[in-house]
Amino acid sequence: MPFQLLYVATKGAVEQIVRVLSKDFATKGITVNAVVPGATGTAMFYKGKTEEMVNQSKSTIPMGRLGTPEEIAEVITWLAGESSGWVTGQVIRANGGSA
């Protein structure tokens, strides 16, 4: 089975798990959400990529750049905080506008 098929199948499963668990735990005041980061400038992202490959990735992002780990952390921090208390069952794509 191709790797890509397994990868997208598990991502889809995570999204459905978030939806189901958010409903199951809502009555207990527990929120369940997921963050799906786009291409982020981490050591794992850069590993094995040439500068040309990195630039190609950047060119597909509407904002024209990679995200930073700090930007992804800010989304997670917001979700963990009180100001997002009514947000549940959501899959937030932090990806610079990539669809």
Q: What is the pLDDT of residues 12-68, one digit of tens each?
A: 999 999 999 999 999 999 999 999 999 999 999 999 999 999 999 999 999 999 999
Tell me if residue 46 is catalytic: no
Give the C-alpha separation, 99 to 93, whole Å.
Answer: 9
Could you tell me which of 21, 6, 25, 3 has the C-alpha nearest to residue 91?
21
Domains of the chain: 3-93 (3.40.50.720)
pTM over 0.85: yes
pLDDT of residue 3: 78
pLDDT of residue 99: 77
pLDDT of residue 42: 98
pLDDT of residue 16: 98
**Catalytic residue from among 1, 4, 7, 70:** 7
Strands of the chain, DSSP E = 34-37, 91-94
